[in-house]
Chains A and B, each alone.
Chain A
């Protein structure tokens, strides 16, 4: 374990964000570097619990106590082996995971928890800088062909696992670049795309084939895929955004977040985007108080919006862990992301009743009212208001996968919530077709997507080699 009394001796210390004025004028990641010595001290705070709640708090079941200890002992090479054993892409989760592990950390009962996330990130960055991250192509090929539809974190994790198990994997992506939401969704200031490219380089060297600009279900049919491949993984995400059906919704200047954010991603990649939706000089209203909303907020700051409001329909959460979400649950509490620090007005218990626009059909006003708590969101009379709104961004979550196209073509069954239904091996009702990620579990975290991709890969592998796991109990 780390240091026996480490948690008593050392306090939590995490990387600082760069000064607001500096960071809003560029697109680089907001966090400052954090020395490895400091990380090792933070590793010493781990108590190596008999029942490590971080380990189950993490959807990937990362063996966190083990690598905390290895980092404390300066054994980085062993640390990356243990970390990679459960997580294909620690450089993604180390940046953009909200770290449910830290919320479940036992130290968190009475002290600030161990800085698991920064330790994770430091391990993988150390490994890359040492040149330890090399392609790991399979020793032999099984001759089985696998199609992965969707190149987000779920698809990538599954592809790497399946390829390393010896199957020939082709990843299909409808966009022009690989990465899904990692590429077009997560802003540059949260994860610079070089981080993604670095990993893709490894996967390509391992033998994974990537095909962009192929929209399976449109460009090619599901049936064609079934003919060419021994197994198919559906990992297309939950791309159906939740809409706001109020009067004036059809006005120009009202966009889904996922129309807005990817354009900036492209610009950051160096593309020209004609007619880019820009917050520059506008009164921006972001509807939705979650992570996507925060990403719109940070992007708007960097595009130099005139003013920004972010509205959330739920009441303001408490500053500390809410009593209804006791440790080790993911806490309901007020979170201040980097984007919130950078400015803008956050409002809670707000509902939009209508939009009105100018003579050109462009939105210029948002009309709203304050509401009571869930589930009724009862409007509070007398709290009606009107706000200038030159750009409205809808970031109210996603209702599930887009069903038209591939899902319909394959005849894949859905669950009650409209997600693709699978059994415990991630197999759908259609033989040879599996599903993973947001498309299966509904919108969720990157860490869940990676976990789903890995587990689906395991199910597919068993299916492909027609063999139970040798240690399965029910032989």
Chain B
């Protein structure tokens, strides 16, 4: 953090002399681990700093130190404007705060503490307690007192004990743990208290509650299902997280319980995001970022990926899974709008939510999200669950939801967008008071993660990444999972206690319904008696600003979004496919297509999944042959049993989330150009595909088959970043692949025809993969078969030429084999013999003329 801050504000070099001297001293005292010298320790220290810097750069979406230096990617909280303007010019600081005098005093206090003897004969440095609770260290909202009180309350069903817990949390908030702790309610006499009996019942309020996105994988099956059962019983919503969901959970249990998560998350990794997954949801949540670790995705270490998790995530057991920071199909708000449209097509019954993190400017993003037709926008705060976050994210990353929520509400109201989008917030909501403040600041719905986990037995080990959770929550170890003691009742009690406390506050504030309360920021003020010497300069007026707008402008969601589904071509497709959908009878139609037809095939696929689950229909049951130029997301989430053939070309996102269907695209038969040298499909093709096949007789754009986890594809050339983060499946590239191929790829296999040696030489990112010749007979056979099928499906002249020259071309294929995948299969890393180059033969390019000749032959 120190290095990041200094460099971010412009430092070209940092000399951590005290740290270095400390290492030297520790080495001299013999306190380093056995066998470690000062030099090694220093090397390790530097390496750790460098890795930390890289991690932070990547979180911020910055690739080079040069771009990061002086980028000032910070927001200050609690610094006075005068101080920021003078020393951190240009940095946002929205609630004022301390100035130079207080900083000086604090520095002097630390100096005095070190320099003067204090009461106790201190022999040890102060314990700090930043990351782990220590009595004399930093205050933590979750401490032995609050954790055990809450657990006792939900287990004994004692509202009284829960109120003791709340009192501990709320009073601690006033010990300056949170911004909301510095607020108080305006209990004016204008709004008389209402009798508690007249306040909306708790059973209604709990429907506004959701549990947070914690994946199956990060937490155990038992914990994940307990949350789902609890939320389904009370009419709230649980969230899959980004780890997919076992289809066995989609059906209700015999006793009426439902282990299905109402919210299905669609995150950057698209783990397990199949069509069947999407249709089994009431809400589809697009996670742009996580409040607790903005800019980062989940990271599941290989030892937590067992067979079941691998199956649900469509990956390989034992192989670690990294959720990439960005969605590779979202680089702009228009891209987001497209994804929202895609998801709405697959499952028109689900509402679409977009999860954003609180940061300065989130209001503008939220406005864009509202315009992109999201039904819900979630503002996630920084305080939330951070058990498995890297240390660089635990502190100094993200900001409180109070700030983000207030900004979002203000911007949406000022732009008259608030009435068509619901606002949810999360980030360490702990008590009824927290929820009440969130409602007054503008939230209609509320997410909780840590506290439901604590209710189920979590004791904040902060060891979620080690697979050693002793209470069976954040572990996949069967022996530890057996120790899980949580019940749905624990979780239900927690939510009802929260709702009951909200009711008590509503009664005091004079609100009968939650709806009346949303956005009533006029009922909050800053605490009068802010007597802490460091809190005196704070000014919450930017949080408590109440935009003055005409009465017709809504302050809460009152209408539905118009998603523009009416124009979808899929209504026609579903109509044509009626016999197939209802009786499984094969259908075959030929239709023209235009680029206004977006997401063709998705709604049809949703219908198939709804009826037939992930099994879909028998191969080729539904065939549509299009002619023309397809719009974006052609064949997205295409289900098994559907084959879409396109003669023409297609835009971006072809086959996004492919779920078993088959896509065949080739250029117009009448064209005279060389297919392998012409763009056929756009960018981000097959992103997040989970199964199915695709044959593209032409070039694909950038980011081809990123996060592929099971689809098979043949393409004749791809742009940069092909097969990035791929975890499973098979990709064959019959020509040039762009830069950074296979970055972060840890499963599946790719075969690339590398005629020039350029691919193996520079283009492929070999950090996580080996490049090998294709020598395994099974590989050779599979490759040849696949190319044959490609030729069969698309009449590819290049494919045909390659097959005809198979003996000569085969040695030019490079097998891209991820290290992790090999490790799991027990195959040793590839060691090419020194003398023998990877490409023994001189580069030889397929003669264009020859290829053209084949094409002529093909088209007669």
Contacts and interface: CB of A to CB of B under 8 A. Distances in A.
Given A47-B461, A47-B470, A109-B470, A470 B140 contact: no
- B interface majority secondary structure: loop
A165 B533 contact: no
A329 B151 CA distance: 12
Given A49-B460, A51-B459, A85 B123 contact: yes
A470 B109 contact: yes
Interface string A315-345: 0000000000011110000000000000000
A384 interface: no
Interface string A89-128: 0000000000000001011011100000000000000000
B132 A51 contact: yes
Nearest to A329: B148
B466 interface: yes
A474 B145 CA distance: 24
A5 B469 CA distance: 10
Interface string B125-148: 001000111111000101111011
A471 interface: yes
Interface stretch (B40-48, B110-118, B178-186): B110-118
Nearest to A78: B31
A368 interface: no
A48 B132 contact: yes
Contacts of A457: 119-120
28 contacts: A7-B468, A8-B468, A8-B477, A8-B479, A47-B470, A48-B132, A48-B463, A49-B460, A49-B462, A51-B140, A51-B144, A51-B147, A51-B462, A55-B144, A56-B135, A56-B145, A78-B31, A85-B122, A104-B144, A106-B461, A110-B483, A111-B470, A139-B117, A161-B120, A165-B121, A326-B155, A470-B112, A474-B532
B459 A109 contact: yes
A4 B132 CA distance: 16
A166 B118 CA distance: 10
A81 interface: yes
A82 B127 CA distance: 10
Given A329-B148, A462-B119, 16 more contacts: A4-B466, A4-B468, A47-B461, A48-B463, A49-B459, A50-B463, A56-B143, A61-B135, A66-B127, A81-B124, A107-B470, A161-B121, A166-B117, A470-B116, A471-B109, A473-B532
Interface in A444-475: 454, 457-458, 461-462, 469-471, 473-475
B480 interface: yes
Contacts of A161: 119-121
Interface string B317-351: 00000000000000000000000000000000000
B119 A461 contact: yes
A210 B663 CA distance: 93
B217 to A, nearest CB: 19
A52 B123 CA distance: 22
A164 B121 contact: yes
Contact of B134 (A55, A136, A469, A473): A55
Interface in A1-36: 4-5, 7-8
A51 B142 contact: yes
A78 B117 CA distance: 21
Contacts of A51: 132-133, 140, 142-144, 147, 459-462
Interface in A27-86: 47-53, 55-57, 61, 63, 65-66, 75, 78, 81-82, 84-85
A326 B531 CA distance: 38
B471 interface: yes
Contacts of B136: 61
Interface string A289-331: 0000000000000000000000000000000000000111100
B459 A475 contact: no
B152 interface: yes
Contacts of B457: 109
Contacts of A470: 109, 112-113, 116, 118
B480 A8 contact: yes
A212 to B, nearest CB: 25
A471 B128 CA distance: 13
Of all A-B residue pairs in the complex, the 5 with the closest CB atoms, nearest first, are A50-B462, A461-B119, A164-B121, A61-B135, A470-B112
B479 A52 contact: no
B148 A327 contact: yes
A81 B142 CA distance: 28
Interface in B81-122: 105, 109-110, 112-113, 116-122
Interface of B: 31, 105, 109-110, 112-113, 116-124, 127, 131-136, 140, 142-145, 147-148, 151-152, 155, 387, 457, 459-463, 466, 468, 470-471, 477, 479-480, 483, 485, 531-533
A250 B483 CA distance: 56
Contacts of A48: 132, 463
A47 to B, nearest CB: 6
A469 B126 CA distance: 14
Contacts of B112: 470
Contacts of A454: 120
Contacts of B117: 139, 165-166
Contacts of A55: 133-135, 144
Contacts of A52: 132-133, 144
Q: Which residue, of A47, A461, A470, has the highest number of chain B Cβ atoms within 10 A?
A: A470
Given A8-B468, A109-B471, A110-B483, A50 B124 contact: no
B113 A50 contact: no
A8 B466 CA distance: 13
A23 B468 CA distance: 41
Contacts of A474: 531-533
A53 B121 contact: no
Contacts of A166: 117
Contacts of B155: 326
Contacts of A57: 144
Nearest to A54: B144
Contacts of B134: 55, 63
Contacts of A65: 132
A107 B151 CA distance: 16
Contacts of B109: 470-471, 475
A56 B116 CA distance: 28
A473 B138 CA distance: 12
Given A4-B466, A328-B148, A458-B120, A49 B461 contact: yes
A81 B123 contact: yes
A421 to B, nearest CB: 22
Contacts of B468: 4-5, 7-8, 47
B612 to A, nearest CB: 43
Contact of B470 (A106, A139, A473): A106
Contacts of A139: 117
A80 B101 CA distance: 40
A109 B120 CA distance: 34
Nearest to B106: A471
Contact of B124 (A82, A107, A165): A82
Nearest to B105: A475
A50 B119 contact: no
Contacts of A81: 123-124
B120 A7 contact: no
Interface in A194-245: none
A110 B483 CA distance: 7
A58 B787 CA distance: 70
Contacts of A106: 459, 461, 470
Nearest to A84: B123
A42 B479 CA distance: 20
A462 B120 CA distance: 11
A458 to B, nearest CB: 4
B151 to A, nearest CB: 8
Contact of A471 (B113, B144, B462, B485): B113
A61 B76 CA distance: 34
A235 to B, nearest CB: 17
Contacts of B118: 469-470
A49 B142 CA distance: 13
Contacts of B135: 55-56, 61
